[in-house]
Chains A and B, each alone.
Chain A
Amino acid sequence: AQSVAQPEDQVNVAEGNPLTVKCTYSVSGNPYLFWYVQYPNRGLQFLLKYITGDNLVKGSYGFEAEFNKSQTSFHLKKPSALVSDSALYFCAVRALSGTYKYIFGTGTRLKVLA
């Protein structure tokens, strides 16, 4: 069965510091991996996705994520956090075959402190 784990309910980081939001997954075969962000009182917005190729994926707002097949991880990173990055972040996985479901993690709340 497919699953996604976001081990941290909340991550606090000081503005200007690098941030990492962790995600690990379990899926049969190779996955498609996604990160979405949910700002307060707004819908989920797409940040980035891994399809194939380069393991380092760059996305919106300066975010990037690294696909690590051996560790089955897809951690979200940003070199320098902004207060405006404070939001709820979701990792999602979709298998290359079989069900078309997206499986989402439980979300990680990022708080960037000024």
Chain B
Amino acid sequence: GAGVSQSPSNKVTEKGKDVELRCDPISGHTALYWYRQSLGQGLEFLIYFQGNSAPDKSGLPSDRFSAERTGGSVSTLTIQRTQQEDSAVYLCASSLAEARWETQYFGPGTRLLVL
């Protein structure tokens, strides 16, 4: 079946503009994660959604970052007033259930460049 998809694959924006990144998880997956991958920094957790529970937003680096998940499926990560340090690859992952041993399935990522 289809994997996790993300759009756009690449995004170039000017400093100060807002951007929206989209994630379509695998159908039926109730858990969804956003990560940021910067060069040499590994994967930085941003936010976690599980079903109808309140999301874990503890990884969002500033109030310029927000995310929502509509209908328990598609998720959008919004970065307002982008800064150059926001340049990174933004990865989305989904997993089947809330079980802690569940495997995450990653999308191909959105490469964001802020000029």
Contact = CB atoms under 8 A, between A and B. Distances in A.
Contacts of A92: 43
A43 B42 contact: no
Contacts, number: 59
Contacts of A104: 35, 42-43, 45
B100 to A, nearest CB: 5
Contacts of B70: none
Contacts of B72: none
Given A100-B50, A101-B59, A102-B33, A43 B103 contact: no
Interface in B79-115: 91, 93, 98, 100-101, 103-109
Interface residues of B, number: 27
Contacts of A46: 103-105
Interface in B17-76: 31, 33, 35, 40-43, 45, 48, 50, 56, 58-59
Interface of A: 9, 32, 34, 36, 42-46, 49, 51, 90, 92, 94-96, 99-107
